[in-house]
Structure 1
Amino acid sequence: MIRIGTSGWRYPEWRDGFYRGIPQRRWLGHLARHVGTIEINGSFYRLQPPSNYRKWAAETPDGFLFSVKGSRLITHHKRLRHIEDALQTFTSSLALGPKQGPILWQLPSTLRFDEPVLKDFLAALPPGRHAFEPRHESFRTDAYFSLLQQHNVAHVVSDAPTFPCIEAVTADFAYIRLHGHDELYISSYDDEQLDGWARKIRDWDRDTFVYFDNTMKGAAPDNAQKLAQRLDVPLASHT
């Protein structure tokens, strides 16, 4: 299973391009007919009520999957420490049903690898798929990879000009975030770059989630569809 999509969907910058002629209330459904998955970003900034998740699930085709970005209260404010209550509150709010994909845990760039802290955090995670995106070079270590492997948590392979791209596959699925290779959140991926990512995904030979986060000038939907074509990935609405 390979799912390719975008990080978020509420972008006014897409209004005159990908969303031309589409009212804002229909943006999610429109995008979901062109990609197989979407990352929910709003969950990072504030706790979403279960009714929001149910609404988003209802607006997407059968077979569609969402990834959900974990709360910044856990990753950025508590910095993975003393998170039991916050984690329970966050995970109990999720109401996507069968459309629930992995939970993404994105770390702040100032957070260094701390083996005991990460070990406790991974042990506290509820069942299901989880993906971990560090943004500090200190995570490029076998001790980090080994911990993720023990818990079947995917290391997020992130492509960006401002934080390290650590290529490692640590779980029975892979998770990729493409933030823009040359300009963060802006630059489009050209044919050669898309061909390169397609080769990596084929070589990894496992379930894979790919999210284009180069959203600021509208490249993400087009890049997602072009990568899906290279990998012969059908739309969720066609499954």
Structure 2
Amino acid sequence: MNKAVRAEQPLGRIRIGISGWRYAGWRGVFYPKGLQQRRELEFAAQSFDTVEINGTFYSLQHPKSFSDWAAQTPDGFMFSVKGSRFITHMLKLKEVQIPLANFFGSGVLRLGTKLGPFLWQFSPQMRFDPARFEAFFRLLPRSHREAAALMRRHAERLREDPGFRVRKDAPLRHCVEIRDESFAVPEFIDLLREHDVGLVIADTVEWPLLMDVSSDFVYCRLHGSEVLYASGYEGVAMEEWAQRVVTWACGEQAEGRCVHSSRACVTPRDVYVYFDNDAKVRAPFDAAALRKRVDQLLAMGQEERSRI
């Protein structure tokens, strides 16, 4: 663990959860046998304080779905939202202003105070193109009101949806998950920091695992470090990730591969961690185990943590 972590230093908010919640294989294993499918999110929200919505990646959702999800979760719960693959994979960020407006116009603002970061995931075939990414970052709305304004100007549907009316503004966060080595350059980190976009720290054997911090929050996706979407986390691997989470929350730089020589300034950061190793029903149990270990580390004093 980074020994610079100080017990007296304030912490960012740490949220640990799962990527998606509707998996047939989880029924009778994580979800109790006989639990109605429509109550699965409600059950998951009793164990975790955040969930990553991944259905938004595949298609535009209905406004009512966002309202229902918000109603099924307790106060203080937070959703992250996966951006549309139509924008990232099909259009490859070209001429995306109207599709971006339609994505926000699908009802995401109905999550209200439970709306957390937006995750923009790119395919392994997407290479770093500075001009294309900078243009995309400039289009991204940075508040609820900016998102509503984008929808009013360009959305092709839902113009009368109540989700367009923002009664209380709040900031929006964005992060990107890259899957090609061409992004492992200082210029990419500079671009992320210039536009206050987070770099997703994605653990897998198939894509670059970069630890550069580029925003005021850290976003992790744990896909399975040995077998994609299948292998679990325990022992040394679980301990390493628990220590990294606490280090980031304290504002320090966790150990690992960084491509930029300059490190982000020391300040407490919110940390979001999502387990995506769902194939063998590891995700919910690994998420619970990481939450337990992080809480144990936070309960320790500075000297105890530094000796680990």
TM over 0.5: yes
Please, what TM-score do these two structures have when normalized by structure 1? 0.95
Aligned to 2:80: 67
Alignment of 1:20-35 (within 5 A): 20-21=32-33, 22-35=35-48
Q: How far apart are the structure 2 equivalents of 1:103 and 1:26?
A: 24
Aligned to 2:273: 210
Q: How far apart are the structure 2 equivalents of 1:75 and 1:151?
A: 18
Alignment of 1:130-169 (within 5 A): 130-169=174-213
Q: How far apart are the structure 2 equivalents of 1:97 and 1:46?
A: 21
Q: 1:17 aligns with which of 21, 25, 29?
A: 29
Residue 114, structure 1, aligned to residue 129, structure 2 = yes
Q: Which moved more, 1:137-146 or 1:14-23?
A: 14-23
Following superposition, the deviation at residue 232 of structure 1 comes to 1.7
Number of equivalent positions? 233
Deviations 1:38-90 (A, max 9, x none): 00010000000111111011101111000000000100001011110011111
Q: 2:114 aligns with which of 89, 99, 108?
A: 99
SS in 1 for 2:51: strand
Letter of the 2:211 counterpart: E
Following superposition, the deviation at residue 164 of structure 1 comes to 1.6
Alignment of 1:176-215 (within 5 A): 176-204=220-248, 205=250, 206-215=269-278
Deviations 1:144-192 (A, max 9, x none): 1011111111100000121121221100000000001111101110121
Aligned to 1:123: 138
Following superposition, the deviation at residue 231 of structure 1 comes to 1.6
Q: 2:93 aligns with which of 74, 77, 80?
A: 80
Please, what TM-score do these two structures have when normalized by structure 2? 0.74
Q: 1:172 aligns with which of 216, 225, 240?
A: 216
Deviations 1:89-129 (A, max 9, x none): 11122121110000000001100000000110001100110
Q: Which moved more, 1:193-202 or 1:167-176?
A: 193-202
Letter of the 1:13 counterpart: G
Let me know the Cα RMSD of the aligned residues.
1.0
SS in 1 for 2:105: helix
Decide which structure has greater strand share.
1
Bigger Cα Rg? 2
Q: How far apart are the structure 1 equivalents of 2:196 and 2:245?
A: 18
Aligned to 1:236: none
Q: Which moved more, 1:3-12 or 1:184-193?
A: 184-193
Runs of 4+ in 1 over 3 A off after TM superposition: none
Following superposition, the deviation at residue 203 of structure 1 comes to 1.7
SS in 2 for 1:208: strand
Identity, in percent, stands at 46
Q: How far apart are the structure 2 equivalents of 1:57 and 1:85?
A: 26
